[in-house]
Amino acid sequence: MATNDEHPASLVLAVSTVIFALRPSTRTGKMSLHIPVVRRIREPYEGLWALPGGPLGMQEDLGESARRHLLSTTHLDPTYLEQLYAFGDRDRSRTNGIARGDRVVSIVYWALVRSGPGAVEYSGIVRPADEVVPGDDNVVWIDADELPELAFDHTEIVAYALWRLRTKLEYSRIAHSFLGEMFTLAQLREVHEAVLRRELDPANFRRMIEATGSVEPTGTLLQGTPHRPPKLYRYVENPAESTPGQTPHPTPATKERS
């Protein structure tokens, strides 16, 4: 077997992102979490799929770097972006004890982007989330729960990001980031159901959401449905009249857009 004493010459600091969007599963047809992966065109792990990312620019913040790589590979602007973890163990790019290139410390972010019927406004142009770079089949969206073999330790990274998203969805109010400016409670519930992979009681879901004070009715109704038109809601940033004992948690650098 290969020796463990090979010393990488240099240390590279990279930023990668696990980008989540909701798309219909090609197997079941139900909405499920998908992530974009990029085909590696050089060693190590040439040919395998990897998370979008790249080296940190000297003049950019960590979150900026994540957003830049995200934009360049998916042409999307994230509605939610949060740091996940810094992966930097000495042998994380080794396979069977064989060193694969320089030592890389990856600061990984996770992001949510809009998808499906609710389209994305990006630099004035409305783009659907499933539009990949034209003519570029080096980026594909895959079901986050049915991953192929990924490069480096990216399989574990995605598993951790999935766990984080699912955990956070239950105590936080981030589901709206998958949707557009206005949405019905049924759409919001559909997001929760797709992420958590279980059905939720519509009545209790409504009360749970209303209790958080995270949404407010816009006053308009969604027309064109086959049945009773549902109210349209919008997300409210700071629910002032909510529970007084709420934690103003000093989470660093968590950014939301619209």
Partner DNA sequence: GCAAAAGTGTTATTCTTACACCCATGA
Partner DNA sequence: TCATGGGTGTAAGAATAACACTTTTGC
Interaction of residue 202 with DNA, rule CB under 7 A:
yes
In the bound complex, what is the minimum distance in angstroms from residue 201's beta carbon to DNA? Answer: 5
CA–CA distances in Å: residue 57 to residues 45, 48, 110: 23, 25, 19
C-alpha closest to that of 257 among 84, 65, 122, 59: 122
Q: How far is Cα 61 from Cα 9, in angstroms, rounded to an integer?
A: 25
In the bound complex, what is the minimum distance in angstroms from residue 32's beta carbon to DNA? Answer: 20
Render 36-61 in DSSP notation, one character per residue. Answer: EEEE--SSSSTTSEE-SEEEPPTTS-
In this chain, which of 30, 186, 220, 258 binds DNA, going by CB under 7 A? 186
The residue among 86 and 186 lying less far from DNA, judged by its C-beta, is 186
Strand order in the sheet with 215-221: 182-183, 231-235, 215-221
The residue among 141 and 205 lying less far from DNA, judged by its C-beta, is 205
Coil, strand, or helix at residue 115? coil
In the bound complex, what is the minimum distance in angstroms from residue 130's beta carbon to a copy of itself? Answer: 28
Would you tell me which residues interact with a copy of itself (CB under 8 A)?
7-8, 11, 13, 56, 58-62, 83, 85-90, 103, 105, 107, 156, 159-160, 163, 167, 247, 249-253
In this chain, which of 184, 213, 239, 256 binds DNA, going by CB under 7 A? 184
Q: How far is Cα 212 from Cα 19, in angstroms, rounded to an integer?
A: 26
HSE toward the beta carbon, residue 157, CA cutoff 13 A: 30
Coil, strand, or helix at residue 155? helix
The residue among 135 and 245 lying less far from DNA, judged by its C-beta, is 245
Q: How far is Cα 88 from Cα 137, in angstroms, rounded to an integer?
A: 30
Interaction of residue 103 with DNA, rule CB under 7 A:
no
In the bound complex, what is the minimum distance in angstroms from residue 216's beta carbon to a copy of itself? Answer: 28
How many residues of this chain bind DNA (CB under 7 A)?
Answer: 20
In the bound complex, what is the minimum distance in angstroms from residue 74's beta carbon to a copy of itself? Answer: 23
In this chain, which of 28, 123, 204, 238 binds DNA, going by CB under 7 A? 204
Contact residues toward DNA (CB under 7 A) are: 184-186, 201-204, 206-208, 211, 221, 223, 225-231
